[in-house]
Amino acid sequence: MTGRGRNDRTLAVVYDQGAASAGEIGVGLGDLGRLVFLVPDTVHVAKLRPVLEELGQVVPLSGDDADRELVRDIAPSALLTYSEPMLRKTADLAAAVGLPFHSVETARILTDKVRQRRLLREAGVDNVRTHPLSHPAQWPQARQAVGLPAVIKPVRGAASRNTHAVTDDAEAEALLPEIFAAVHREPGETGPLLIVEEMLQGRPSLPYGDYASVESLCSPDGVTHLALSGKLPLLMPFRESGRFWPTHLAADEQHAILDLVSRALKALDVRYGLTHTELKLTRNGPRIIEVNGRLGGHVNGLARTACGTDLVRLAALHALGETSEPPVLRPDLVHFQHHGLAPTEPCVLEAVHGAKELRQLPGIGGYRTFTRIGEQLPGGVLTHEMDVIWGTGDSHDAMTHTLERALRTLSYDFRFASEVRRVSAATLRDSGLTGTSPTGDPVL
């Protein structure tokens, strides 16, 4: 560590649910300075407050202009966030105390899908057809502008919350009142709540996903792409099941992806910090899904196990101005993470079977559950991760074989409205891939 010691400087983290857990922040930042967590009044913060208080000082945010004076009084040496919902707030506070972060304008662009798409289109980076929606009655105009199939999603959002694919007018008209009822504006927000986008059609890619993501480090000196993640297949409609390093993609396609991301970051005027860009792999080349102004979810865990690099710490060092040669995040083995995603039908998790046997399988590095026995699972299209399996393979084929064996070993008991049903992790995954399970049962 360079610069002032722990007792001489303060790191302020604007904290809420996001891409880094409280534990990851404590491990990554604990020796860099005194930690202060600036927190909103949310259910997640209330649940994690005892953990946060063990790691540092917890300071509530009021949500108004008084927060700027509060941060001036704290006088942090660095200010950052790993939480998508807190990007705009962090940008505002950083501007108030003159610390590096996304500008207020850039943070708004990175969290507003309508503005982001418009800027990418105007810069000639990616011309995805889109149309904003402020009311369900505007669907005919959106349908005419975008066509079908289409994707309806919130202008601000993450984890596929309230994101739906529609293939006909009747489906859209039935869904829109429900989506509008579930999406709410932030205080002081104006403008459309939803955006309709053309559905980007991925090329056939199984057993891998038809999309990719890129982690980048931006500074006034330019952009460094840290890693390009290969993906496990999406589950319907847009739920992410996992990732792996290094990617399986050919060198020319990797080059095309990184070039597209560089041009997108330039078009959006992103000059600072870690970014996470998601791309669809189509027959005609990569297309931008979205650009996010923070670390990707679960990517830090993959970076630590695969390369021994802590990206949560890297973001803090960057915020402190302690720059060094960016790490090379390309491991010799294929490292993967797989998330078991909750059924789309509401249910209760009654039991998990096979965890001990799974952990003993060759190539499996570990298994961790995020869901308690007896917990109510809400259903719907939100990406609700029940657990994570991680491991390695000598090749991408070996990774696939190891994962398939693991998913056949693990199973869950779910209590649905009418019955308790045991479902293997492989069947749960396959039902989301195909729309029906291998036995013809409905999607779970």
Supply the pLDDT for residue 160: 65
Integer-rounded Cα Rg, in Å, for the chain is 22
Count CA atoms within 13 Å of residue 395 on its CB side: 3
Cα dihedral 89, 92, 96, 98 in deg (nearest 10):
100
* Distance set, CA 294 to CA 214, 291, 324, 425 (Å): 11, 9, 19, 30
Q: What are 52-72's pLDDT values in tens digits?
A: 999 999 999 998 999 999 999
CB 50: neighbour CB atoms within 10 A? 10
11 confidence band (pLDDT: 50, 70, 90): very high
Q: 77 with 33: CB under 8 angstroms?
A: yes
Q: Which of 131, 132, 136 is nearest to 146 (CA)?
A: 131
H-run or E-run covering 145: helix 139-146
Supply the pLDDT for residue 6: 57
Alpha helix ranges (H) inside 154-198: 169-182
Four-residue CA torsion sign, 30, 220, 106, 223: negative
Residue with tokens 């590096």: 100
Q: Rounded mean pLDDT of 168-178?
A: 94
Strands (E), 18-91: 34-39, 57-60, 78-81
SS3 content of the chain, % helix, strand, coil (to 5): 35, 30, 40
Strands (E), 201-325: 211-219, 222-231, 242-245, 273-282, 285-292
Distance CA 271, CA 426 (A): 42
- The domains of the chain, with CATH numbers, are 9-101 (3.40.50.20), 129-198 (3.30.1490.20), 202-319 (3.30.470.20), 334-434 (3.90.1170.60)
Supply the pLDDT for residue 159: 59
Supply the pLDDT for residue 438: 34
Q: 94 with 100: CB under 8 angstroms?
A: yes
Single-letter amino acid, residue 356: K
Distance CA 427, CA 343 (A): 11
Task: Look up the pTM and report it.
Answer: 0.92
Supply the pLDDT for residue 123: 97
Whether residue 2 is predicted with pLDDT greater than 80 in this model: the reply is: no
Distance CA 323, CA 329 (A): 17
Q: What are 203-223's pLDDT values in tens digits?
A: 999 999 999 999 999 998 899
Q: Which of 242, 224, 354 is nearest to 297 (CA)?
A: 242
Q: What are 222-265's pLDDT values in tens digits?
A: 999 999 999 999 998 889 999 999 999 999 999 999 999 999 99
* One-character DSSP codes across 285-296: EEEEEEEESSPP
Whether residue 19 is predicted with pLDDT greater than 70 in this model: the reply is: yes
Peptide bond into 132 cis (omega under 30): no
Whether residue 27 is predicted with pLDDT greater than 70 in this model: the reply is: yes
Q: Identify the bridge partners of residue 151 per DSSP, sorted by sequence position.
A: 165, 197
Higher pLDDT, 440 or 430: 430
Q: Rounded mean pLDDT of 276-284?
A: 97
Higher pLDDT, 347 or 443: 347
Q: What are 112-163's pLDDT values in tens digits?
A: 999 999 999 999 999 999 999 999 999 999 999 999 999 999 998 765 678 8
435 confidence band (pLDDT: 50, 70, 90): very low
Q: At what angle do helices 299-307 and 311-319 cross, to 10 degrees?
A: 110
Distance CA 318, CA 75 (A): 18
Mean pLDDT, rounded, of the chain: 92
Q: At what angle do helices 169-182 and 139-146 cross, to 10 degrees?
A: 120
7 confidence band (pLDDT: 50, 70, 90): low
Supply the pLDDT for residue 75: 97
Supply the pLDDT for residue 436: 37
Whether residue 409 is predicted with pLDDT greater than 70 in this model: the reply is: yes
> What's the 3-state SS for 343-367?
CCCCEEEEEEECHHHHHCCCCEEEE
- 334 φ, ψ (degrees, to nearest 5): -90, 115
